[in-house]
Amino acid sequence: MTYRKRIATLVMGDSLIVLTAIFISYFLLVPLTNPFTLMLLFSSITLLIGHHVFAAKYKLYNKVWQYASVSELTGIFQAVTLSVILTGAMQLVFFQAITLRTLVITWMIHILFIGGSRFAWRLYRDGFIKQTENKTNTLIIGAGAAGTMVARQLQQSHESELHPVAFIDDDQTKQKLEVLNIPVIGGIDLIEEVVANKKIEHIIIAIPSLKRGELNKIFLECSKTKAKTQILPRIEDVMSGKVSVTQFQDVEVEDLLGREPVELDIDGIEQYIKGKTVLVTGAGGSIGSEICRQISMFFPKELVLLGHGENSIYSIEMELRRTAPNLNISTEIADVQDGEKIRAIMLDHQPHVVFHAAAHKHVPLMERNPEEAVKNNVIGTKNVAEAASEAKVNTFVMVSTDKAVNPTSVMGATKRIAEMIVQHMDIISDTRFVAVRFGNVLGSRGSVIPLFKEQIQNGGPLTVTHPDMVRYFMTIPEASRLVLQAGALAEGGEVFVLDMGEPVKIVDLARNLIKLSGYTEEEIPIKFTGMRPGEKMFEELLGADEVHGDQVYPKIYRGKTPEVNINVTFDMVERFQQKSREELRRELLDIANFRVRDLVVLGRVE
């Protein structure tokens, strides 16, 4: 029905209701007299005109009545009441009399008929249609504002396949009550029981303020059932119109991390990036590319994407040109092992800030190829750092890892030695050099998550090295934002670490991923393969002798590290190709763990 036809239909229908209401009220009071008196005709015309005027004022002809609620009923009440009051006032002016009882009954019939006509379609949708459709029984966790909004939308939506049948909420003041005729049965400890009793096939977690640790607890209860579990989209996405409240999202592994993201000093980050040239090495990698995405939001003068793989650099360049069309982007295909090329690029672009994310990160591969770890992680870092110093870069931030603490692997050892080089450069250079350590990054290349997902696609099993192995985890965007924050906090020579909360068992991560993929452990089993060379049972973010008690920023710490005789490291770098892999592996670990005589020369640096 077109807009004009709809308006005409409503106006004609309301006119008939208005006239019917006033004539019925008159006949109820004076059924035997002549109905067509001058006052009655005058009152009918006045009431009719008044109704249409006030109906237009309160937009009764512009409402979508199939979604009518209390606010629409209030509009009807106001329009009808004011039109009846106007009619009474006009009677008093022109006839010096008022038919009060007739007007009261007219008001009652008027509201009943107008309201009934408007709410008839809503009652039909909520009653007949809902009962005849074959919908999926749905449990909503959270009977607050968000949960109520979700339930109302599902009840009103003809297209939705979900039918809310129960709420779960830990708030005892809501339990045993009903919201929108839906019972609030109890707390999260009853999820498994409710799913079984109500034949629930779908669970929606509708608590936007839920902390990740609490979400993990709720999801653990949901995972005991076979019901599909989803969560609300982010409130900011709903408010911006990107998604609707009923476009539920699958729970991701990132959502289950038992820690809250760190709030960053946006002004501080913007101050040292906005209007400046920024260079990122390893810009095509998972961490490097996300650093570039984050930088693009702070309006740099130029963003230089440096990487060895042309395809990955092309990919992030095209993405940034699409998402940040006004960003000045330069691309450089270069290997950090090529010192002369890196030096030329630095001198050409003269960056203000350098983020060094290029590195080999795969532990077992580097155990088998220690010489490549030295070339990329040690020599590559040395080349980039020296070139940055020569180009008079203001701030140099190196991406490090928790595996650099008391390293047991070649990868961890080379990253620790790279930290030593960066700290040495801070002493001899005017550039501020800092390093940032964090734990495993979910979804990054070399992360366990892509491996688990591939194994699930292949039907399993998921391979976990040891049932007690634990790791710290964070998301790629959060890791990248931490790197940017470190640049804003840098004074020079620091090793920044993030308070990453409680470590997570790898086997728990595997079980959650199996559940999130819609399988059970019977369908996708977990197989324990034993620890690989260089692996630790647990990781550390700071060594015992590096701990510095004070936070330099909420949840960000600065470690204390010894100043080293860098010549010992440089001597190893010059001679590394003369050694066997086993000799090289042993020497790397000795240097990284300070087991080499005369390595530490000046004691601790606060």
DSSP string, 480-517: HHHHHHHHHH--SS-EEEE---S-EEHHHHHHHHHHHT
Token code pair at residue 238: 């709903």
Instruction: Let me know: does 599 contact 591? Beta carbons within 8 Å.
Output: yes
Pairwise CA distance, residues 418 & 343, whole Å: 18
CA-wise closest residue to 279 among 355, 383, 345, 331: 355
Pairwise CA distance, residues 18 & 109, whole Å: 9
Pairwise CA distance, residues 28 & 477, whole Å: 73
Instruction: Let me know: does 480 contact 291? Beta carbons within 8 Å.
Output: yes
DSSP 8-state secondary structure symbol assigned to residue 127 = I
Estimate the crossing angle of helix 286-296 against helix 476-489, to 10 degrees: 60
Active site residue 174: no
Long-range residue pairs from 349-352, CB within 8 A, at least 24 positions apart, any chain:
349/277, 349/279, 349/302, 349/304, 349/391, 350/277, 350/391, 350/392, 351/276, 351/277, 351/278, 351/279, 351/304, 351/388, 351/391, 351/393, 352/272, 352/276, 352/277, 352/278, 352/393, 352/394, 352/395
Helix (H) or strand (E) holding 475: strand 473-475
CB-based contacts of 403: which residues, under 8 Å, 6+ apart? 363, 409, 411, 412, 415, 536, 539
CB-based contacts of 571: which residues, under 8 Å, 6+ apart? none
List 276, 375, 382, 403, catalytic entry: 403
Token code pair at residue 14: 């309301």
What are the catalytic residues?
403
